[in-house]
């Protein structure tokens, strides 16, 4: 998910979708010849800056070894957020505003539940979120 969000915010793969001569437009990510898989350190472009950055979210390595966006990648994301017509609106999106809650905003519904040979149909319990949280906290 983090990798795909990186694309959404303007980042390219660390190999620049090409070879050692095509980069990702971020100077602090060493060029790579292709995607890396697993968590093995490699230098696919020996004439470049150093080892492939396998810990970068924009590679294909295993999730366990990914943990970084570089400073230049962060600057690229900010530039996209400030200038892309489709992304700049995210900064003023009302999605962080609380949504109005309804009186009964949670519900447990049991249909055709059988106990002791008796069939009870369409039992419905309604709770507010606060009541449900209190019930869940009881031993």
The pLDDT, as a whole number, for residue 62 is 94
Q: Tokens 């090409």 — which residue?
A: 18
CB–CB of 42/51 below 8 Å?
A: yes
Q: How far apart are CA 27 and CA 33, in angstroms?
A: 16
Q: What is the span of the domain harbouring residue 122?
A: 106-137
122 and 72 part of one domain: no
101 found inside a domain? no
The pLDDT, as a whole number, for residue 33 is 92
54 and 112 part of one domain: no
Q: How many CB atoms lie within 10 A of CB 64?
A: 8
54 and 116 part of one domain: no
The CATH number of the domain holding residue 19 is: 3.40.390.10
110 found inside a domain? yes
pLDDT band at residue 124 using 50, 70 and 90 as cut-offs? low
Tokens of 103: 């009186």
Catalytic (active site) residue 4: yes
76 and 120 part of one domain: no
70 and 119 part of one domain: no
The pLDDT, as a whole number, for residue 97 is 75
> Considering Cα of 12, then 76, then 41, then 18, what sign does the dihedral take?
positive
1 found inside a domain? yes
Nearest to 56 by CA among 15, 90, 85, 117: 15
pLDDT band at residue 100 using 50, 70 and 90 as cut-offs? low
Which residues lie below 8 Å from residue 108, measured CB to CB, with a gap of 6+? 124, 125, 126, 127
CB–CB of 65/74 below 8 Å?
A: no
Q: How many domains does the chain have?
A: 2
Residue 30 has pLDDT above 70, yes or no: yes
Q: Which residue has the higher pLDDT, 21 or 9?
A: 9
User: Element (H or E) spanning 6, and its range?
Assistant: helix 2-8
Mean pLDDT of all residues in the chain? 81
Instruction: Kindly report whether the global pTM for this prediction surpasses the value 0.85.
Output: no
4, 107, 111, 130: the catalytic one is 4
Residue 58 has pLDDT above 80, yes or no: yes
Q: Across residues 1-6, what is the average pLDDT?
A: 93
14 and 64 part of one domain: yes
CB–CB of 34/54 below 8 Å?
A: no
76 and 115 part of one domain: no
């Amino acid at each position: 998910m983090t990798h795909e969000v990186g694309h959404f915010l303007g980042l390219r793969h660390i190999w620049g979708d090409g070879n050692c001569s095509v980069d990702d437009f971020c100077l602090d990510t060493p060029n790579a010849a292709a995607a890396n898989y697993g968590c093995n350190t490699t230098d696919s472009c020996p004439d470049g800056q150093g080892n492939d950055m396998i810990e970068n979210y924009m590679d294909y390595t295993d999730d366990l070894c990914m943990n970084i966006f570089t400073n230049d990648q962060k600057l690229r994301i900010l530039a996209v957020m400030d200038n892309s017509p489709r992304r700049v609106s995210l900064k003023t999106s009302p999605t962080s505003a609380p949504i109005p809650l309804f009186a009964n905003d949670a519900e447990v519904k049991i249909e055709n539940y059988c106990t002791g040979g008796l069939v009870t149909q369409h039992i419905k319990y309604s709770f507010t979120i606060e009541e449900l949280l209190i019930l869940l906290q009881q031993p």
